[in-house]
């Protein structure tokens, strides 16, 4: 028999806060198109142009202002890297129409251990995405309003919690909410860059007036390959977030792969052009890296000639897109957590969808972890950046290596032959060699960059992530081992049946003789005739009263009084239960029945001892002992 439950969730403060609950049948209608998809999944990548050029200059500052000219070829190199990664992920999107994140690709093509490494790397990157993007957004607004600088940490935490609340309302609503600010940022950036290029070509651009102090400059060094590699590594934070669309293909409307692929190319064009233009114009206006005023702020006030309305609109748009960049992580972190939890590498609770058909527990976990990181690092983008990007380049490498192996497997199938894998269906592809070379080359490039980033940023804080990823893999393995062991113990294979219970012994706990204890006695009689009432005596006078009342109301059931001279309650009771347990015969079960008051008001529960809860926790690991709570309502 199957019945459809007609009961709907009651309205509560949660309904007002995150919206009315959605039925499961609404899930297909919660998908998004290219227009909103660009806002949901591309804000992280696009927002990186607000801090990636500045991070390049911060490293080059060690060699003096003359070294800033190297920022332009480094920007071109980063855009070239972006093209390689986009080209590879475009293939991944079409090969994995149900979502081809690094975890799934590595799991299906490289094995469980590389998949765990990919999951650890990506989850770490998503947390850092929220921390870095929100901290950078607050830094932008503090550039325009310096009085906010001392409050930057708590403003950042408040913004993280705001993004969390919006995402708890569902992916469709969060996408609609963030679509307008995303396109506002794109319009304002292209307006600023377009006007800046026109003024540069006409010779009216000039340089930054009253530039901020360059506090990052230390003892001047010479320009070395190591310094350039370190600057390049900092700038590669611009390509973080490009994997988000491949992770979130199921969120797109049909045809999912086509819509996701087009969105990926749109994002790549916007990101590449903005990265190059901002870097070139920042060099032309002689902008200086500083935490007190960002590169975007210096560029905007130089282009517009003042801190007028267009300057404020540019800063506001940049701040909003940086905060929205966290939305990409909020879209992908819960989804990846749910997939890993389904495979048994994370707690199963992360697979449950909330009332708005989103993975609520994953969303809240991301918000609280990222907020803790912001507080620890005091919302400093420069201190957070060294932790950033290692994880994403590790996941890039594993994803593309997995795709290269997938094409190799495809080439060894016969024409028309299919092989169903967990994440996709594998078919023969006549261009498998060409695609394998592309993904193999991409994997090699990103592996080298991951190594360069780890080596050049190791002493700046990258060692934390290098230690954290193996630690997470160990935790994943431990969780997986636990779930497998539980599944083996619960399996019905090679299992006959439990022997029939031949005897049932009941222990009835008494705190007094009243209506509640008599209700518990009535229930105990339905289980067995072998009932023992137990009372722990702390006061001899009170024990005498209990004994007298039980002789009247106890229906002939034997009463055992445990004298406790040291006024202990739980210890004598457990000692008695263990004594009975040692005398237990084969196929005999012991049930401890506990009367429990249920008061009308919730606050009154704190006025009564929760004996059943305490016993349940203590006796949890004892087999053949059952603790039963018999409620008695007190009106």
**Mean pLDDT, each 10-residue run in order, the chain (635 residues):** 61 55 51 80 80 86 85 93 87 79 88 92 87 82 80 89 81 66 90 94 88 64 83 82 79 85 91 93 88 85 88 87 78 86 90 73 91 87 74 87 92 84 84 88 87 80 85 94 87 76 87 87 92 89 90 92 82 86 84 82 65 70 81 76
SS3 assignment, position 634: strand
Residue reference for tokens 């950036």? 189
Q: Supply 614's token pair.
A: 């305490």
pLDDT tens per residue across span 175-228:
666 688 888 999 999 999 999 999 999 989 888 888 887 755 555 677 888 888
All domains of the chain in start order, with CATH? 31-476 (1.20.1740.10), 503-634 (3.40.50)
SS3 content of the chain, % helix, strand, coil (to 5): 65, 10, 25
DSSP 539: S
Residue environment code for 516-534, b if the CB has 16+ CB neighbours within 10 A, otherwise e: bbebbbebbeebeeebebb
Q: Measured between alpha carbons, how far is 99 from 331 in angstroms, rounded to an integer?
A: 13
User: Which positions ≥6 away from 279 have C-beta within 8 Å?
Assistant: 53, 56, 71, 72, 74, 75
- β-strand pairing of 418-420 with 425-427: antiparallel
User: Which positions ≥6 away from 180 have C-beta within 8 Å?
Assistant: none
Q: Measured between alpha carbons, how far is 294 from 139 in angstroms, rounded to an integer?
A: 7
Confidence at residue 25, expressed as pLDDT on a 0 to 100 scale = 47
Confidence at residue 404, expressed as pLDDT on a 0 to 100 scale = 92
Confidence at residue 605, expressed as pLDDT on a 0 to 100 scale = 65
Sign of torsion, CA 104 110 115 117?
negative
Which residues are 599's β-sheet partners? Answer: 634
The enclosing H or E element of 597 equals: strand 588-599
CA 622 to chain centre: 36
User: Which positions ≥6 away from 76 have C-beta within 8 Å?
Assistant: 276
Confidence at residue 518, expressed as pLDDT on a 0 to 100 scale = 92
Q: Measured between alpha carbons, how far is 625 from 627 in angstroms, rounded to an integer?
A: 7
SS3 assignment, position 448: helix
Residue reference for tokens 């009315």? 20
Confidence at residue 270, expressed as pLDDT on a 0 to 100 scale = 92
Task: Give me the sheet containing 625-634, strands edge to edge.
Answer: 558-563, 531-537, 503-510, 588-599, 625-634
Residue 138's nearest CA partner among 51, 256, 212 is 51
Q: Measured between alpha carbons, how far is 626 from 577 in angstroms, rounded to an integer?
A: 11
Burial of 307 (0-12, 13-18, 19+ CB in 10 A): middle
Q: How far are the Cα atoms of 87, 92, 119, 182, 270 from residue 264, in angstroms, in the given order?
A: 10, 11, 21, 15, 10
Q: Measured between alpha carbons, how far is 495 from 459 in angstroms, rounded to an integer?
A: 56
Residue 388's nearest CA partner among 163, 40, 130, 142 is 130
Sign of torsion, CA 41 46 47 53?
positive
Confidence at residue 277, expressed as pLDDT on a 0 to 100 scale = 94
Which residues are 42's β-sheet partners? Answer: none
pTM of the model: 0.75
Preceding omega of 255 cis (within 30 degrees of 0): yes
Residue 133's nearest CA partner among 386, 288, 321 is 321
Q: Measured between alpha carbons, how far is 558 from 524 in angstroms, rounded to an integer?
A: 13
């Amino acid at each position: 028999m199957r019945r459809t439950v007609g009961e709907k969730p009651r309205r509560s403060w949660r309904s007002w806060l995150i919206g009315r609950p959605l039925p499961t049948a609404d899930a297909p209608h919660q998908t998004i198109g290219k227009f909103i998809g660009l806002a949901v999944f591309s804000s992280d990548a696009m927002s990186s142009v607000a801090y990636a050029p500045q991070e390049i200059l911060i490293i080059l500052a060690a060699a003096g202002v003359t070294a800033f000219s190297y920022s332009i070829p480094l920007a071109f190199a980063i855009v070239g890297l972006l093209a390689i990664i986009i080209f590879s992920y475009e293939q991944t999107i079409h090969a994995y129409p149900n979502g081809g994140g690094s975890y799934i690709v590595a799991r299906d093509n490289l094995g469980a251990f590389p998949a765990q490494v990919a999951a650890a790397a990506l989850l770490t990157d998503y947390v850092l995405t929220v921390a870095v993007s929100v901290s950078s957004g607050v830094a932008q607004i503090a550039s325009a309003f310096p009085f906010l600088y001392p409050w930057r940490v708590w403003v950042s935490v408040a913004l993280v919690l705001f993004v969390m609340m919006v995402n708890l309302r569902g992916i469709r609503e969060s996408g609609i909410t963030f679509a307008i600010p995303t396109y506002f940022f794109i319009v304002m950036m292209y307006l600023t860059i377009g006007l800046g290029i026109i003024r540069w070509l006409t010779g009216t651009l000039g340089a930054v007036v009253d530039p901020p102090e360059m506090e990052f400059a230390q003892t001047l060094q010479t320009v070395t390959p190591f310094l350039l590699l370190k600057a390049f590594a900092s700038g590669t934070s611009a390509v973080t977030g490009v994997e988000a669309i491949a992770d979130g293909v199921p969120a797109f409307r049909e045809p999912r792969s086509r819509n996701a692929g087009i969105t990926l190319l749109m994002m790549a064009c916007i990101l590449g052009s903005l990265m190059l233009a901002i870097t070139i114009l920042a060099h032309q206006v002689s902008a200086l890296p500083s935490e007190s005023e960002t590169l975007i702020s210096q560029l905007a006030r130089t282009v517009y000639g003042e801190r007028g309305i267009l300057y404020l609109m540019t800063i506001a748009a940049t701040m909003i897109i940086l905060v929205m960049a966290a939305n990409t992580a909020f879209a992908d972190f819960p989804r990846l957590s749910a997939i890993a939890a389904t495979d048994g590498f994370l707690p199963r609770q992360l697979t449950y969808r909330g009332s708005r058909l989103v993975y609520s527990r994953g969303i809240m976990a991301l918000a609280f972890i990222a907020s803790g990181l912001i507080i620890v690092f005091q919302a400093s983008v420069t201190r957070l950046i060294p932790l950033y990007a290692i994880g994403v380049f590790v996941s890039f490498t594993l994803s593309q290596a997995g795709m290269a192996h997938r094409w190799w497997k495809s080439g060894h199938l016969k024409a028309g032959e299919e092989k169903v894998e967990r994440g996709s269906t594998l078919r023969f592809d006549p261009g498998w060699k060409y695609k394998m070379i592309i993904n193999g080359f991409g994997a090699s490039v990103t592996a080298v960059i991951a190594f360069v980033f780890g080596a050049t940023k190791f002493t700046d804080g990258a060692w934390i992530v290098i230690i954290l990823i193996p630690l997470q893999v160990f935790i994943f393995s431990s969780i997986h081992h636990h779930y497998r062991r539980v599944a083996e113990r619960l399996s019905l294979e090679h299992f006959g049946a439990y022997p029939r219970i031949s005897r049932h012994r009941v222990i009835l706990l008494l705190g007094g003789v009243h209506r509640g204890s008599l209700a518990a006695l009535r229930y105990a009689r339905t289980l067995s005739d072998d009932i023992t009432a137990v009372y722990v005596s702390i006061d001899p006078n009170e024990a005498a009263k209990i004994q007298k009342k039980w002789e009247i109301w106890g229906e002939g059931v034997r009463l055992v009084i445990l004298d406790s001279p040291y006024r202990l309650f739980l210890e004598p009771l457990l000692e008695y239960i263990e004594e009975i347990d040692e005398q237990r015969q084969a196929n005999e079960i012991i049930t401890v029945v506990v009367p429990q008051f249920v008061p009308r008001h919730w606050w009154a529960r704190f006025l009564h001892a929760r004996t059943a809860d305490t016993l349940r926790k203590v006796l949890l690991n004892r087999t053949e002992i059952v603790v039963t709570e018999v409620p008695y309502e007190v009106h």
